[in-house]
Structure 1
Amino acid sequence: MSRTGARPRVLVVGAGLAGTATAIRLLHFARRPLEIILLERRADYRSAGVAYHRDGNPWDHVFNIQAGRMSVFREDVLDFINWANQEADRREWPRRWASWTFTEQGPAPRRIFQDYLGDRLAEAVRESCSGVVLVEADGEALDAHRCDRGFEVAVRGLSPHVAEGLRPGPLADTLLLEADHVVLATGLELREPAFAAGVADHPSFVRNPYSASAIRKLTSLPAEASVAIVGSVLSAYDTAGLLLRNGHTGPVRMISRSGTLFRTYPGAHEHGVVPLPRPDILMEPYRGREEFLARVRTAWQDACSSVRVRYPEIDSVIVSERVAKAWEPYLPEAIDRVPTEELRCLLDEFSTGIAALRVGAVAYTMEIIERAMHPQDGRVELVLGRVREITPAPSGRLTVSVAAQHERHSFEADLVVSNFGRESDYAKAGQPLWRNLVRNGIATPHVRTGRGVEVDACGTLLDTNGHPAGPISAVGVPREGDEIVRHGRTGAFAFNLAAIKNHSVAVAAHIVEQLELRRDGFHHLAARHPQYRSYVSNPEEAVREALEESVELEVRRLASRERKRREALESRLDARIRSMGGLPVLPTDVPHEERLIRACVNRVAVDRLNDVSVTPRQLRRQLGLENTEHPED
């Protein structure tokens, strides 16, 4: 802490899924007084973000993945299902969903996720330790600079209950909010597509299909109207599905550069992980684009064939998902061999195709669209090509010009919906906060991929020199490029809930650790001894059994949502660490040896909670969390 007796403050910028999940973990993990400010510039996005907020998600917008994978706690895979079936307030739900029994493999409306996150956040507040408080505030963060305490953030429109006593900021109508640590959970950056520059304000053009105004246009559109949907990503299926369920009879064209169609998950599909050998052919030196793609195709076909032979019980539709997941540990080494410019081009060209290999969609969404694509119906058509320009037509409609491989053609539409979604290059970010962070060198656009920003293994922003920029972290989409090169996670990253959940655990634990070390006067302790992991994993260590027991207790503490249970586990953990006396492997100049052991145990426990080599259900069994009703067990 920078001031004696002051309660540390963590400012979380963005209260969507990533920000809310991080706030929940902070409330669970903090053992000492802490103030958490959860800042959101749009009240309707709180506990929801663009993907789940009620005004932009009518009841027929369902999760693209099965409901059983939507728990905010990866170590408690059934939490969302149990909430939806047993806790959710259904009094204002439509009849269809009010009587619905939710299952792991089935659908669920996206709009109820806002209530789920809100309930879990409120639960975390109730079960937090004494002196740990959550402040939910409105306001937009516009800039941030280092200060003695940590960071001071210029915020516009700050809630009065937070604004009292704050100094005016350098920007008009802003106040300076000081924080010991800042978490950036800002979600998607919207891209303004060049092809729609002339129609951005046209009443027949929809820029954001998840806005209240877009939903009004889609649901009030004449049934016979013609619609063009730019893009074939999963958000395009939401738009098409909404139209079809509302009785739309006119033509719907889905324009796709790649021609990619997503798979439909089988009815009994469960997430799984299969072991596959390292694809050695991908580790050869890069010798050009075509040669590299040929190697990828060969390795992919071999891997898919291997899965079909070794695991005949796996539905053929799911084979690509299994291979893509199994390859993740090997991809960083392969990616490292691809020149930067080539890597960026490959990601841009194949991003939708890679996403379709890694992610499917539930039958509730896909069946109605597949029927409409059938020649006997024909209401939905997949148009292959790239949109070159959208212009107003004399008829009052919009003219859409499409360039395919060998031709160009145009057609008119009564409504055009753009799913040419997000800006992944943070050098072009539209939000003032990111523009200022990049301009001031606090954030650096990701060099290798051009997607997101540079962060270290703990999620801390790296400055232009590659050094930690201070107590400021990122969770969620801004870490896309780092996830690709560090963990091999490609595909539809914006919807990669597993990565966001892991970020929330790791960042929250890191923040709590750093604040505690700072308060105890050991702020640079762990940094001076980066080999902390070896302290609890060295098989030759005489007290390995005691350390292992400590890690198991810490895993259970981190995974516990009840304050009483966490405190009991904490007491047992402290006693176990004190009983060790000391570790011979620790440097002799380390003061308060127990304090460093505690930090080491926490970090290893976090690594285990974030293990993606197993499914969430396997993780729960692996960590011994199946029967943890009583901490003394």
Structure 2
Amino acid sequence: MPDPPGRDRGAAPGTRRVTVVGAGFSGTLTAIRLLHFADAPLEICLIEREEGYRYGGVAFGWASTNWEHMLNIQAGRITLRRERPEDFLEWANEEADRSGWPRRWQYHSFGVACVVPRRIFRQYLAERLRGAAADAHAEVTLRELTGEVIDVRRRDGGYTVRYADAGPQGGVHDLPSDQVVLATGHLAPVQAPFHHRVKDSARFLADPYAPGAQDWFRAVGAEESVLVTGSALSAFDTVVSLVHAGHRGQILICSRGGHLHGTYPADHEHDIWQAARPAFLNAGELTPEVVVEGIRAEYARLREEHGVEPGSPLEAVFPERVMKAWEPYVIELVSRMDAGDVRMLLDRYKSLIVTSRTSTVQEIGGVVRSRMRGYNGAPKTVDVLSAGVQDMRPIEDGTKIRVVFDGRPDVVVDRVVNCLGNKTDYERPDHPLWNGLVNGHGYARPQTSTHRGVEVGPHGELIAADGTTAADLFGVGPMRQGDETSRRGRLGAFVFSIGTLRNQCFDTAMEVLRRLRSASDEEQMDIPDGIHHCLIRSSDWIAADLTTEEPRATRLRERLQGYAHERGFPNALNHLTAQDRTERRKYRAILDEDLADFGADLAREFELTAPQARRAVALLATLVEKHAVHSLCDITKLAGWDSQYSGQVKYAPKKGA
């Protein structure tokens, strides 16, 4: 449970402190990873401002969901640890306390393809955090606080995190920290200009995930009409919330493009395709017109090549498989196009991109689609309107809202729900903490290529206004969405999906711990970005630092590569995939002892000085660990399952079929 309010109690002498700001999904998972792998005195402070979001954030928190809100991903793919894909299923079926679950779920047996209520996923996060804290190194502790972080600033080689506690006595406190991980979630919801006349009306809901939103849905009259602005997943969640509250009236989902998520077939299996580099990328200049026409032509060509028929099961999953296959080409597009053009295209085609990048599971999409059709004795209650809203205004003493459209008749409804998504521009954020970080201290800057989120390094390090890395200040979560697009080609909800955030939290936590270990190590060098993706490049870089004399350099490179592939990498994987602290400690000792022996062999074989050998081994250990983390986070690789669920898993996805 969170600590009671009070001033910083101070960590034990010699204990470092990492403060994680935000205890939603990303903050909780980052803390879990820190607890897993910290092996020296460390206090992890986890601060959350809204108790209803603790452990789950907006997506999975108790305040923002009900028991009918499902994860839009199958149970076999939502583990917190990619190296243990069966972890969620084992927890849900063998460990979870089901006493607070509705009867529908109390006796449910979860399998790989099951859907999962988001509230169950929140419980999974909370219990895995408690388990990680209990299993952590004796001198590694977790401290949970409740309060609003209002400032983070450099001080004495670290940072001071200032927060206003949420206790009855209030108070503002300073928390000295060696490293800070910002896991603040989304910015505030977008409010369009046409919302300004109704934004203070009790009949307008600005945020369907806000604390109290579920009470608002329950207050909607059963036969009242509701207009939803926006057609992405939040609109689907809104329909689910209304239906769960007993609503039977008309719902109008309105967006300018009229795009809507598809619904996965009941027997849907996720697959990863490969696609050739689109021909339009050969153009000398990538203008918006060239890109739009090129994508349309290539998409049509791929539909014909794969034989996609209207209404077929393949049609429901075809767009997202193509967009996944195109991720390498999105990276090229963003790197070659003018940043203003990139932003314009992302804004203009946002709805199409979002709805094409993912469909919905039957338990979500079916709620909407079935009500769009209607049945004998169950009339159609959901319509989709493709139109641009011009204005909204209260009428009839504020009991109804008139919606004015561009080029079509007005509509009068009882309620309006805003589902236009969240703000993404950090240049002038209305979030006080981020406004201070960007515009006050200059510790962060808006993402350059897409202007979505903030600029970060390869492990989530914030890039300051002057282009330097803000040492020991990291971000995980939606503030990295622009980086996910420009660095990995991800679009739509996949810029902050479970898989994406799971990788960010793992990688950032390991980088935080590495920096804590090497903070006083003068032999550590700045490692170039990206070389850890390849053990050959890593080995070549280390060898070049020691010698350029041939044939000695060649022999040294071969020796380093051989060790990295045959012993270093397997040892690192064993350590990272161990199930508990006892196993991790065992494999850590094996790894360290083996590295020490290898360092002694290097010194003897190549006549290296003790500092040279020590530095070579330290760098190799760092790069091998980075490569192992990168490998475990590779979304195209399915980990092998060694459990009762192994028979339900497809080990190798089919290509192009």
- Where do 1:189-588 residues align within 5 Å? 189-193=187-191, 194-286=193-285, 288-308=287-307, 315-374=314-373, 377-404=379-406, 407-439=407-439, 440-493=441-494, 495-522=496-523, 524-527=524-527, 534=536, 536=538, 541-548=558-565, 549-580=567-598, 581-582=601-602
Call closer, same or farther: CA 1:199–1:135 in 2, change over 3 Å.
same
**Which aligned runs of 4 or more in structure 1 are off by greater than 6 angstroms?**
583-589
1:555-594 Cα distance to aligned partner (Å, 9 max, x none)? 2212223001101111111122122133899997747233
Tell me how far apart the structure 2 counterparts of residues 361 and 490 of structure 1 sit (CA, whole Å): 16
Q: Determine whether 1:185 maps to 2:183.
A: yes
Call closer, same or farther: CA 1:87–1:374 in 2, change over 3 Å.
same
Match of 1:106 among 111, 114, 126: 114
What is the deviation of 1:258? 1.6
What is the deviation of 1:86? 2.0
Tell me how far apart the structure 1 counterparts of residues 87 and 267 of structure 2 sit (CA, whole Å): 19
- Whether contact under 8 Å (1:308, 1:314) holds in the other structure is no
- Whether contact under 8 Å (1:391, 1:400) holds in the other structure is yes
Tell me how far apart the structure 2 counterparts of residues 565 and 259 of structure 1 sit (CA, whole Å): 53
How many residues of Structure 1 are paired with residues of Structure 2 in the alignment?
603
Tell me how far apart the structure 1 counterparts of residues 460 and 394 of structure 2 sit (CA, whole Å): 45
| Letter in structure 1 aligned against 2:630 | D
- Whether contact under 8 Å (1:149, 1:179) holds in the other structure is no
What is the deviation of 1:499? 1.2
| Letter in structure 1 aligned against 2:428 | K
Match of 1:43 among 15, 38, 51: 51
What is the deviation of 1:323? 1.5
Tell me how far apart the structure 2 counterparts of residues 528 and 245 of structure 1 sit (CA, whole Å): 52
Per the alignment, residue 623 of structure 1 pairs with none
Per the alignment, residue 103 of structure 2 pairs with 95
- Whether contact under 8 Å (1:387, 1:400) holds in the other structure is no
Tell me how far apart the structure 2 counterparts of residues 573 and 607 of structure 1 sit (CA, whole Å): 18
List gaps (5 residues or longer) in structure 1.
Answer: 164-171, 621-625, 627-633
| Letter in structure 2 aligned against 1:417 | V
What is the deviation of 1:344? 0.7
List gaps (5 residues or longer) in structure 2.
Answer: 1-10, 541-553, 644-648, 650-657
Q: Determine whether 1:604 maps to 2:627.
A: yes
Q: Report the 3-state secondary structure (helix = DSSP H, G, I; strand = E; otherwise coil) of the residue aligned with 2:490.
A: coil
What is the deviation of 1:183? 0.3
1:324-348 Cα distance to aligned partner (Å, 9 max, x none)? 1121123211222221111111111
Q: TM-score, with normalisation over the residues of structure 2?
A: 0.86
1:479-528 Cα distance to aligned partner (Å, 9 max, x none)? 01111111101112464111101111110111111110114454x53448
| Letter in structure 1 aligned against 2:29 | A
1:443-486 Cα distance to aligned partner (Å, 9 max, x none)? 10112211000111121001112110121000010001111111
Tell me how far apart the structure 2 counterparts of residues 617 and 236 of structure 1 sit (CA, whole Å): 36
| Letter in structure 2 aligned against 1:76 | R
Tell me how far apart the structure 1 counterparts of residues 642 and 19 of structure 2 sit (CA, whole Å): 30
Further displaced range: 71-80 or 198-207? 71-80
- Whether contact under 8 Å (2:401, 2:414) holds in the other structure is no
Per the alignment, residue 547 of structure 2 pairs with none
Tell me how far apart the structure 2 counterparts of residues 67 and 482 of structure 1 sit (CA, whole Å): 28
1:151-198 Cα distance to aligned partner (Å, 9 max, x none)? 1122111779xx9xxxxxxxx943221111110100010135132222
- Whether contact under 8 Å (1:258, 1:384) holds in the other structure is yes
Per the alignment, residue 655 of structure 2 pairs with none
Tell me how far apart the structure 2 counterparts of residues 398 and 449 of structure 1 sit (CA, whole Å): 39
Tell me how far apart the structure 1 counterparts of residues 236 and 223 of structure 2 sit (CA, whole Å): 19
- Whether contact under 8 Å (2:400, 2:413) holds in the other structure is yes
Q: TM-score, with normalisation over the residues of structure 1?
A: 0.89
Q: Report the 3-state secondary structure (helix = DSSP H, G, I; strand = E; otherwise coil) of the residue aligned with 1:300.
A: helix
Further displaced range: 578-587 or 83-92? 578-587
Match of 1:175 among 173, 176, 185: 173
Call closer, same or farther: CA 1:498–1:402 in 2, change over 3 Å.
farther
Q: Report the 3-state secondary structure (helix = DSSP H, G, I; strand = E; otherwise coil) of the residue aligned with 2:409.
A: strand
Q: Report the 3-state secondary structure (helix = DSSP H, G, I; strand = E; otherwise coil) of the residue aligned with 1:151.
A: strand
Per the alignment, residue 646 of structure 2 pairs with none
Further displaced range: 364-373 or 70-79? 70-79
Per the alignment, residue 117 of structure 1 pairs with 125
| Letter in structure 1 aligned against 2:422 | R
Tell me how far apart the structure 2 counterparts of residues 212 and 425 of structure 1 sit (CA, whole Å): 23
Per the alignment, residue 631 of structure 1 pairs with none
- Whether contact under 8 Å (1:275, 1:326) holds in the other structure is yes
What is the deviation of 1:543? 4.2
1:515-553 Cα distance to aligned partner (Å, 9 max, x none)? 10114454x534489966546555951243322221122
Q: Report the 3-state secondary structure (helix = DSSP H, G, I; strand = E; otherwise coil) of the residue aligned with 1:525.
A: coil
